[in-house]
Amino acid sequence: MRSHEHKSSHGSIKSYVVGYLLSLAFTLVPYYMVRSGGMTGQKLLITVLAFAFIQMFIQIFFFLHLGRGPKPFYNVIFFTATFGMILVVVFGSIFIMDNLYRNMSPAEVTTKIGEKEGIAEIAGKKTGGCQGLGVNHKAVIKDELVTPDHIHAVLCDTLTITNLDSINREITFGEHENHEAYGGVYEISLAAGRSKTITLNTAGQYKFHDHVDPTVGAFFTVEK
């Protein structure tokens, strides 16, 4: 009886092979998603976290044999503790990295904070924020085209991008695969039928485009 319990608490060669293949798949798929750049922002983060949790269940079931041993109560405690620790580590790490990013204040973040708070100058140094806003310029995405395709503005004007297509858009700045921030903004998620307004607080010539479909984009020139 005891030998039977001992045997049932361990997996077969088949279960180990299946577990290994599943683990490999749930590791390579998110790696490819990150490398390919087909998905970005919060969607990518949520997807990778989902794969990580599924990976955890695979490890517990196929290799740690949760519920197969003679003491399932201890297995439940182990599973609960492991799940809790993973939540603390993952979400704690995300919180810490986000907090460090905001508090170390690179130039783009300083500009974004100054713009959000309406702070144009600190101790005699300009933050890039605008004290007053000028003309609002509009760019409309419809039928995979942006109208107009080139916008002329001056500092402290605003630009409203509206997505009238039926699919979501991930608006980024710069050339495709070499994205850059504009005024502290790296990416704009535009659901179908939604708009987003940014302040044109940096002079120069720039480009925005849909990260998923780089052919959808336009230029905008900001003069002093």
pLDDT tens track of the chain, all 224 residues? 444 444 455 567 888 888 889 989 988 988 888 888 777 767 787 888 888 888 888 887 777 766 555 556 666 677 778 778 877 887 888 788 777 765 555 555 555 555 555 555 544 555 555 666 789 999 999 999 999 999 999 988 889 999 999 999 999 999 887 888 887 777 888 999 999 988 888 889 999 999 889 999 999 999 98
What does the alpha-carbon distance between residue 146 and residue 162 come to, in Å, rounded to a whole number? 9
Residue 38: count of CB within 10 angstroms of its CB:
12
SS3 call for 151:
strand
CA angle 203, 137, 111 (to 5 degrees): 40
pTM above 0.85, yes or no: no
Residues forming a β-bridge with 160: 138, 197
CA dist 189 and 163 (Å) reads 10
Distance (Å, rounded) from C-alpha 152 to C-alpha 138? 11
- Give the chain's length: 224
